[in-house]
């Protein structure tokens, strides 16, 4: 299958899908599944997993993180990518506004992924080394985020990842905004 070039004469408006949720909810897995589905359909896009983009010790400041996001999104826009997929743990409404500003998209879909707290703990324990000194703090913070993240006001779509495959969650996201996220010329799976 040929992939349309990002510079294929389409509108220059930038659309962003922003995935958020607590640690262990599956942001990276859903980002990968959505990116794979778009690639399979020949839809040009760029995928950015913010925590991986800014991994450093000691950690970067919030302002430095947003500069990295802005620079990365600018580079993709300059290359002609008008569909950006971004995954990041957003804890407050202010975090949401800062990230959306850094992305600089004309339109966006903010998706909050959720799962039961016990499921999140199970997933975190499964993926992180048991000897990691930050494990207990991450689990505790995840529990806090399970209580606070539902209050985020700018969320457009909430999807549970409980007992769901990442590919199915990605398909639900595509169905929520078919115009920028599906190809009418390529049949969906």
Give me the phi and psi of 46, to 5 degrees please.
Answer: -130, 140
What mean pLDDT is predicted for residues 169-185? Answer: 84
Tokens representing 118 are 């016990």
CB atoms near residue 82 (< 10 Å)? 22
pLDDT, tens digit (0-9, with 9 covering 90-100), for 9-67: 444 699 999 999 999 999 999 999 999 999 999 999 999 999 999 999 999 999 999 99
What mean pLDDT is predicted for residues 159-166? Answer: 98
Length of the chain: 189
Say what the pLDDT of residue 183 is: 66
Tokens representing 75 are 């580079």
Q: Give the start-end residues of each E strand in 41-123.
A: 46-49, 83-87, 107-114
What residues contact residue 73 under an 8 Å CB cut-off, 6+ apart? 48, 84, 86, 102, 103, 104, 105
DSSP-assigned letter for residue 130: T
Q: Is there a contact between 144 and 184 (Cβ–Cβ < 8 Å)?
A: no
DSSP-assigned letter for residue 150: G
Query: Residue 52 CA to chain centroid, in angstroms?
Result: 12
Task: Please list the residues that pair with 49 across neighbouring strands.
Answer: 87
Say what the pLDDT of residue 186 is: 37
What mean pLDDT is predicted for residues 114-139? Answer: 96
Query: Model-level pTM?
Result: 0.90
Q: Is there a contact between 189 and 144 (Cβ–Cβ < 8 Å)?
A: no
Which class would CATH give 15-181? alpha beta
CA–CA separation, 121 vs 107, rounded Å? 33
Lowest mean pLDDT among 40-54, 103-117, 125-139, 171-185: 171-185
Say what the pLDDT of residue 187 is: 37
Tokens representing 62 are 């919030």
Say what the pLDDT of residue 179 is: 87
pLDDT, tens digit (0-9, with 9 covering 90-100), for 62-109: 999 999 999 999 999 999 999 999 999 999 999 999 999 999 999 999
CA–CA separation, 118 vs 173, rounded Å? 24
Task: Please list the residues that pair with 110 across neighbouring strands.
Answer: 18
């Amino acid at each position: 299958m040929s992939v349309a070039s990002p510079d294929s004469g389409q509108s220059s408006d930038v659309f962003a899908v922003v995935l958020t949720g607590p640690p262990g909810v599956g942001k990276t897995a859903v980002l990968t599944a959505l990116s794979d589905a778009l690639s399979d359909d020949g839809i040009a896009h760029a995928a950015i997993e913010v925590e991986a983009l800014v991994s450093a010790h000691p950690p970067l400041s919030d302002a430095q993180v947003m500069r990295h996001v802005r620079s990365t999104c600018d580079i993709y826009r300059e290359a002609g990518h008008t569909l950006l997929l971004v995954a990041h743990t957003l804890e407050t409404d202010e975090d949401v506004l800062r990230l959306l500003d850094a992305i600089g998209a004309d339109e966006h879909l903010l998706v909050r992924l959720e799962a039961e707290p016990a499921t999140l703990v199970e997933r975190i324990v499964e993926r992180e080394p048991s000897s990691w000194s930050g494990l207990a703090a991450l689990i505790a913070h995840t529990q806090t985020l399970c209580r606070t993240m539902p209050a985020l006001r700018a969320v457009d779509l909430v999807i549970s990842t409980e007992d769901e495959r990442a590919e199915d969650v990605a398909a639900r996201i595509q169905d929520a905004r078919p115009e920028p996220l599906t190809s009418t010329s390529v049949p969906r799976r």
